[in-house]
Amino acid sequence: MGQLLPADGRELRVTEARRRFFEEGACPDGELPNEVLRSWLRCRDAGVDYLANGRGDPEGRSELAEARERSELLLNNASGVMEHVYEQIRASGSMVILADDRGVILHSLGDPEFVGRAQRIALQPGASWSEGARGTNAVGTTLIEAAPVEIIGAEHFLDRNGFLTCSAAPVFSPEGTIAGVLDISGDSRNPQRHTLGLVRLAAQMLEKRLFEIQYAREILVAIHSRPECIGGLQEGLLAVTQDGRVVGANGIARALLRQLPVCPEGIGFSNVFRVSFGVFMDRCARDPHALQALEPRAGERLFSRLRAAGPLLGMSRAGTRDDEAGAAARVQSARGARPCDRRTGEITLDCLATGDPRLQLALDRAARISGKDIPLLVQGESGVGKELFARAFHFSGPRAEGPFVALNCAAIPESLIESELFGYVGGAFTGARREGAIGRIQQAHGGTLFLDEIGDMPLGMQARLLRVLQERCVTPIGGQRQIPVDISLVCATHRMLRDAVKAGTFREDLYYRVNGLTITVPPLRERSDIRSIVAKILETELAESPRAGQVRISEQVLEFIERYPWPGNVRQLQNVIRVAAALLDDDEAEILPVHLPEELFGADPMDDAESGRPQAAAAPQPAAEAPAEPSAQARSLGEIELEVIAAVMREVSGNVSAAARRLGISRNTLYRKIGRMH
């Protein structure tokens, strides 16, 4: 970059360098700034005539309009910055110029007298100042050097531009390509000391603005190795999606992170830093103003602060921030509740220990391999709590703060398993989303991938999954790049996988990969802790009700529950208790036989209640075929209650007395509840 030597000395040196270069064909090494000499050599090779005298007219109006349209975002955001710069140099008789990525001047602002002189050499909107068009000059040479450049007086390749002194800096787009150039040009007899620094700062301001606009919907994280640089123009900026993918980085951030490559589908936050995005956001939520230390996987330790968190922190697209205390709360709520919350599934292995010795053995063995990178295979009949076990394993281990991502291989069509698991790049196949999608494997990075019903995975998919497990990398469909993934694998199956291997429907090599430790969750009918499970289910069901802690289950019902074979296992028990709790009247505090569903308890619950003797249930279905009433799962107690009432009313053809008897509630209560249905 050029240095301001005392004017005479510098001028004499450059004049001598010109003579040797243009007249003797020599290479005036050491007499010119390196970038100037490089540029002269390029211009000579390209056949640029240093004596060219024509004005080199600017393009026509339509070309200028087209160039402005191409760079609309740059132009719209540059004018404020240019005015700010012009304020600083107003007295110096200079002009501020914005050129596009090809060197075409889009806009200029300046001292009227100098602007007049500049027009004589076509330093004006519409003219191209690329090196090819005008030889060495700050705009064109900056575009080639991709760095700030100062070209003073006779350093310009063309003789006729020797009266200029120009400083320019590239403006990088959020993607890291050059979007344009900002330049300050003036008379070389009146050089200003700080123009290069000024134009550089202006370019950084503009880059920052472009970055914020481009990633207005993402979470912005400011980073720097020096804490005092956070909040200033020197800060690095990262754009991170809510699911923790770094999708953008400004030039400073890329340099701080050792030239971090950023691709449109993003790179996992925990691939870049030694912490998961969830943990980082939790820390920020605790104190949004504090600087957080961040340790990159490559590069020195950094400081960081959440700059803007788009939708999470209530940023509008225009970038105005609402209250930050609320923001912290939203970050917290976005992360969900803490472990051992059965409603959200964030529970630990300890929470599952309710006294059954077989289950306890399974819990102990799983706890021993926690954090040891050994794949866990959970076996058991449908509805026994395999997924719950997998969650508890995840939330009990060192990956608890990372994601828990579940995929039920039996529940999605074979044709979709591949894209669900591996994700795809934009346009990978017909019907694919334009921006692509990340697969479950990648989503689980830093956490646990739970593959339910792994035995139902198609054979072709098994081969791909095996490769991912061996290479610890995933390649999205249609993509070229392998993305490293760090996952803990837990699989579940209701069938004996070994039998599937024998039958040739499950690959033997994959079987050994997924089966580091196998544990079996016993069926409910064989568990000795059924009363504790009932109590936990009831507690969870009523957790949000004003009656939490006030409802009992009668001994009669508990005895029945202990005797019933529960073909649908815990899921079926959960549904029964959910419905029973829904049928409780406001003034009732005990679940009685009348609250149990008819199919379990005989045709007329009132009869059973009156006889005081629970009937043995009809012969249970074989476990594998048992329907587990999943429809009751995702509904609220109120909804279930209303559905049950509606079904009973239909059965008794609208006879309220018969319905009340059947439901085990008074007619008045039924009228009240029916009133709520309308």
Ligand X SMILES: Nc1ncnc2c1ncn2[C@@H]1O[C@H](COP(=O)(O)OP(=O)(O)OP(=O)(O)O)[C@@H](O)[C@H]1O
Catalog residues that contact ligand X under the rule CB under 6 A. 352, 380, 382-388, 452, 492, 494, 533, 536-537, 570-571, 574
Cα 428 to the center of its chain, rounded Å: 20
> Looking at beta carbons only, is 125 or 385 nearer to ligand X?
385
How many angstroms separate the CA atoms of 425 and 182, rounded? 35
Could you tell me the smallest distance in angstroms from the CB atom of residue 540 to ligand X? 7
Element (H, E) at 643: helix 637-651
How far out from the chain centre does Cα 251 lie? 21
> C-beta of 612: minimal distance to ligand X in Å?
29
For strand 590-591 and strand 552-553, is the pairing parallel, antiparallel, or unpaired? Answer: parallel
Which CB atom, from 107 or from 386, has the smaller least distance to ligand X? 386
Residue whose C-alpha is closest to residue 498's, from 481, 478, 518: 518
Nearest approach, Cβ of residue 363 and ligand X (Å) = 11
Q: Are the C-beta atoms of residues 520 and 384 closer than 8 Å to each other?
A: no
Whether residue 287 contacts residue 305, with contact meaning beta carbons closer than 8 Å, is answered with no
Least distance to ligand X from the beta carbon of 541, Å?
Answer: 10
648/356 Cα distance (integer angstroms): 37
The DSSP bridge pattern shows strands 488-493 and 483-484 to be unpaired
* Least CB distance to ligand X at residue 340 (A): 12
Least gap, CB of 380 to ligand X (angstroms): 6
CA angle 260, 177, 295 (to 5 degrees): 20
Compute the least distance from the CB of residue 383 to ligand X, in Å: 5
Q: Minimum Å distance from CB 412 to ligand X?
A: 13
Whose Cβ is closer to ligand X: residue 122's or residue 491's? Answer: 491
Nearest-CB residue for ligand X: 385
Q: Which is nearer to ligand X, 64 or 347 (CB)?
A: 347
Nearer to ligand X (CB atom), residue 210 or residue 576: 576
b vs e for 434-460, b when ≥16 Cβ sit within 10 Å of the residue's Cβ? eebbbbbbbbbbbbbbbbbbbbbbeee
Q: By C-beta, is 74 or 351 nearer to ligand X?
A: 351
At closest approach, how far in Å is the CB of 624 from ligand X?
10
The answer for residues whose C-beta is within 8 angstroms of residue 607's C-beta and 6 or more apart is: none
* Cβ distance to ligand X smaller for residue 281 or 359: 359
Between 44 and 536, name the residue whose CB sits nearer to ligand X. Answer: 536
Rounded-to-integer distance, Cα 408 and Cα 382, Å? 13
> Do 310 and 219 meet the contact criterion of CB atoms below 8 Å apart?
yes
What's the closest the beta carbon of residue 276 comes to ligand X, in angstroms? 24
Q: 3-class SS at 262?
A: coil
Minimum CB distance to ligand X smaller for 221 or for 407: 407
Task: Give the span between the Cα atoms of 514 and 454, in whole angstroms.
Answer: 9
Helix boundaries (H) for 397-503: 414-422, 440-443, 459-471, 497-502
H/E stretch holding 482 reads none
- Least spacing, CB of residue 347 vs ligand X, in Å: 9
Nearer to ligand X, 487 or 538 (CB): 538
Report d(CA 529, CA 511) in Å as an integer.
32
For residues 182 and 418, what is the distance between their CA atoms, to the nearest angstrom? 48
Q: What is the spatial distance between Cα 95 and Cα 80, in angstroms, rounded to a whole number?
A: 15
φ, ψ (nearest 5 deg) of residue 174: -60, -25
> In the bound complex, what is the minimum distance in angstroms from residue 492's beta carbon to ligand X?
6
Question: Which residue's CB is nearer to ligand X, number 126 or number 383?
Answer: 383
User: Closest approach of Cβ 668 to ligand X, in Å?
Assistant: 34
Q: Kindly state the smallest distance separating residue 595's Cβ from ligand X, in Å.
A: 19
Q: Find out whether 431 and 385 touch, Cβ atoms under 8 Å.
A: no
Cβ atoms of 331 and 313 closer than 8 Å: yes
Cα(48)–Cα(164) distance, integer angstroms:
18
Strands 245-249 and 236-240: antiparallel
Nearest alpha carbon to residue 572 among 531, 636, 530, 630: 630
Helix then strand then coil, % of the chain, to nearest 5: 45, 15, 40
Q: Is 593 exposed, middle or buried (0-12, 13-18, 19+ CB in 10 A)?
A: buried
Q: How far is the CB of 579 from ligand X (least distance, A)?
A: 14
C-beta of 105 vs 492, nearer to ligand X:
492
**Complex with ligand X: residue 351 or 425, whichever CB lies closer:** 351
Closest distance to ligand X from the beta carbon of 330 (Å):
27
Query: Buried b vs exposed e over 278-301: b needs ≥16 C-beta within 10 Å?
Result: bbbbbbbbeebeeebebebeebee
Q: Which residue number, 390 or 557, has a Cβ lying nearer to ligand X?
A: 390
Q: Which is nearer to ligand X, 351 or 670 (CB)?
A: 351
Sign, CA dihedral 561-567-573-578, equals negative
Nearer to ligand X by Cβ, of 305 and 386: the residue is 386
